[in-house]
A and B are shown apart, each in its own frame.
Chain A
Amino acid sequence: MGLPLRDFRDSIDPEMGLTPEGRTVSDGHGIRATRLERDGSTDSGRPCWVRGSSLEAALAPGSLHGPTVSSTILAGWQASMSSTEPATSETATPMTEESSPRRKKRGVPEGLWLRCAGCQAAVFRREAEKRLNVCPECGYHFYVSGPQRIAQVLDEGTFEEWDADLRPTDPLGFQDKRAYADRIVAEQKRTGLSDAALTGKGRVRARPVAIGVTDSAFIMGSMGSVVGERLTRLVERATEQRLPLIIISASGGGARMHEGIFSLMQMAKVSAALARYDQAGGLFISVLTNPTMGGVAASFASLGDVVFAEPKALIGFAGPRTIKATIRIELPEGFQTSEFLLEHGYIDRIVPRDKLKSEIARTIDYCGM
């Protein structure tokens, strides 16, 4: 086909697919705060995944659940999204999640209601939470944070975080409209995470596992050196300790461009660790959630012995906008969804969120680990 070079180059890079992911987090923070309260405590009574985060430094201890904090987080989100995320027409697709009722109804504390992007219904927040952030009306899967994910999949109180002491740095001195160094601090404050991945070990219905999750709220869940290093160490420990490995991906940003070539090389690094794990006979269950794109899709997320996906997640290599800009035709209905990937043979099973834990346990049992 005649592909004019300029047109291709003017489009967005395959590795950094534009995704509607940025929009998905709007109400997630309120949910996150609530979930922290409910599921996040450790023995010390502190949420284990925010230990040492800038959030703690910035806020008085214990204030995490108050409305003040939420509004701080929300303000941070708005500031960050407006400067980080590309404006994309994909926001109106079924992949988009909650709109932000909180913005419309400022009077309602914490946004008691969510607007479901799947069926447009107003959903009572607590009802959605009870169903693991799935719409009670239509089964639409909303955003869940990394810590929530861990809480949903592991047996209560079994999570032991690994490599929480790693922090991102700014190897390039990268600066766009904003310095990457400042962006990191802002993202840490906003999300309560130190970077986009959370790793450790725990139990799934009493089966010991090594587990990693990425959180699409932190710079689109993109993989820089900390994500790559945490995941590589996770895979290496899973190999040493002969643990089944579960990685749940929510990374619309692929490889993180702010860390340049270092991010790209994390793809090779984690993949090489997985090759050794495979050689040692390990079982890797990769779970793809909305969204999993670019350099994350093109590395560890696609390397599972068994690959699950949540319903209607956006999964792919190049972003839909990039593809549209390149080939200049409309994309088919349902392109790059979980169902599309299942149909084309790249996914073993589509697993609704409430079945994920038992499906993981069953797969481990079948594979005898």
Chain B
Amino acid sequence: MDNLKFEEPILALEQRIRSLSESGGDRPEVKEEIRELRKELTELTRKIYSELNAWDVVQVARHKDRPHTVDYLSLVFDEFVELHGDKFFGDDRAIRTGFAKLDDIKVLVVGHQKGRTYQERSECYFGCAHPEGYRKAMSKMRLAAKYGLPVICLIDTPGAYPGIGAEERGQAQVIAENMFEMSRLETPIVCVVIGEGGSGGALGIGVGDRVAMLEFSYYSVISPEGCAGILWKSAEHASKAANALRFTSKDLEKFGIVDAAIPEPLGGAHRDHHQTASRLKAYLLKSLRELAGVPTEQLLAERYEKFRRMGQFLTVEPAEA
């Protein structure tokens, strides 16, 4: 999956512009042609990206060039002081935690890390955290609460790791405990899904006062492949499952599950890391400012209510029940 199928016309046009400017970019008639093509490219990209279906969005969310947590650590924050280890079993590289400065605000950052090279990706299990990752996240978040630092969680995982060791060390228990503790953690928490919001693995660092998504990320109860495997009996139907699950930022904003869908630069975050980072930063700053003055009791009450409201069901007449 090096190039996205639906991006092929964009890539072709980009290539044409590149070769034109290389061959004779200083000649006035060529300059004019390039200008026209650039305009065309903008229109084409806008058109293609406004018509993405849910399965296309999944491909964008998984794009190899999409910015990951470590990219944002350098682009969004002025400093990052990594804190390792869960003081219990190990230091899961699929979740990074540490102190950071957001302008002049001291914060604690927790984020899934996927890695880009094969070696990096193996080291972080492609962003699939083990129990020690969730334990590490929780212990650093407690530290943050103790010293009054707000917490920022960057979510980007296909799901919590499914393996023997993960089960032996309590994958189910740590995710449950994290939600339980985060719901009452006495400091502001802002969560942003930056790529893949894979189920319990995402929710394990996903309970906060603000929950947002980057425009072309997704947040789902199950991976489209997993859903297709169960309901359509084959992972090949993943695109159908993706569209049925309604998990894009647009849908989740409409459902009231996320507070904001942060717009990505034209053609997706992978085209412009800096622009994406600055939009993410603006959202984080705005959210932290809103939450800064809120008394803890009110903060926790509102956090509870935020999740309490989630769910859709009918109530029938007592006579029927």
Q: Is the CB of B244 within 8 A of A303?
A: no
Q: Report the minimal beta-carbon distance from B161 to chain A, rounded to whole angstroms.
A: 8
Q: Is the CB of A298 within 8 A of B167?
A: no
Q: Does B308 contact A (CB under 8 A)?
A: yes
Q: Is the CB of B230 within 8 A of A18?
A: yes
Q: Is the CB of A261 within 8 A of B257?
A: yes
Q: Is the CB of A225 within 8 A of B313?
A: yes
Q: Does A44 contact B (CB under 8 A)?
A: no
Task: Count how many chain B residues have C-beta atoms less than 8 Å from C-beta atoms of the other chain.
Answer: 75
Q: Report the minimal beta-carbon distance from A293 to chain B, rounded to whole angstroms.
A: 8
Q: Report the minimal beta-carbon distance from A295 to chain B, rounded to whole angstroms.
A: 6
Known: A9-B223, A279-B184. A14 touches B199 (CB 8 A): yes
Interface flags, A250-279, vs B, CB<8A=1, else 0: 000001110111111111110111111011
From A115-123, A138-146, A172-180, the one touching the partner chain is A172-180
Q: Is the CB of B313 within 8 A of A261?
A: no
Instruction: Tell me, in angstroms, the Cα distance from A332 to B226 when the chains sit together.
Output: 23
From A35-43, A98-106, A160-168, A208-216, the one touching the partner chain is A160-168
Q: Does A169 contact B (CB under 8 A)?
A: yes
Instruction: Tell me, in angstroms, the Cα distance from A16 to B220 when the chains sit together.
Output: 12
Q: Is the CB of A172 within 8 A of B307?
A: no
Q: Is the CB of A317 within 8 A of B167?
A: yes
Instruction: Tell me, in angstroms, the Cα distance from A327 to B241 when the chains sit together.
Output: 24
Known: A228-B311, A300-B176. A260 touches B246 (CB 8 A): yes
Q: Is the CB of A16 within 8 A of B311?
A: no
Question: A residues within 8 A CB of B221?
Answer: 15-16, 255-257, 259-261, 263-264, 295
Q: Is the CB of A318 within 8 A of B166?
A: yes
Contact of B222 among A8, A13, A225, A331 (CB under 8 A): A13
Q: Is the CB of A164 within 8 A of B321?
A: yes
Contact of A323 among B162, B179, B184, B235 (CB under 8 A): B162
Instruction: Tell me, in angstroms, the Cα distance from A271 to B252 when the chains sit together.
Output: 21
Q: Is the CB of B313 within 8 A of A169?
A: yes
Q: Is the CB of B320 within 8 A of A257?
A: no
Q: Which residue of B lies closest to A165 (CB)?
A: B321
Which B163-190 residues sit within 8 Å CB-CB of chain A?
163-164, 166-173, 175-177, 179-181, 183-184
Q: Does A96 contact B (CB under 8 A)?
A: no
Contact of B311 among A266, A276, A322 (CB under 8 A): A266
Q: Does A299 contact B (CB under 8 A)?
A: yes
Q: Is the CB of A344 within 8 A of B307?
A: no
Contact of B175 among A12, A317, A336 (CB under 8 A): A317
Q: Does A217 contact B (CB under 8 A)?
A: no
Contact of A327 among B163, B225, B304 (CB under 8 A): B163
Instruction: Tell me, in angstroms, the Cα distance from A257 to B229 when the chains sit together.
Output: 12
Instruction: Tell me, in angstroms, the Cα distance from A11 to B318 when the chains sit together.
Output: 44
Question: B residues within 8 A CB of A281?
Answer: none
Q: Does A109 contact B (CB under 8 A)?
A: no
Q: Is the CB of A10 within 8 A of B225?
A: yes
Q: Does A24 contact B (CB under 8 A)?
A: no
Q: Is the CB of A262 within 8 A of B312?
A: yes
Q: Is the CB of A271 within 8 A of B121?
A: no
Q: Does B55 contact A (CB under 8 A)?
A: no
Interface flags, B189-205, vs A, CB<8A=1, else 0: 00000000011110110
Known: A229-B313, A264-B220, A271-B183. A52 touches B160 (CB 8 A): no
Question: A residues within 8 A CB of B233?
Answer: 86-87
Question: B residues within 8 A CB of A300?
Answer: 176
A selection of 7 A-B contacts at a CB cut-off of 8 Å is: A13-B223, A167-B314, A168-B313, A169-B312, A271-B176, A298-B171, A298-B175
Given A265-B311, A268-B310, A316-B167, 4 more pairs with CB closer than 8 A: A12-B229, A260-B221, A275-B181, A276-B184
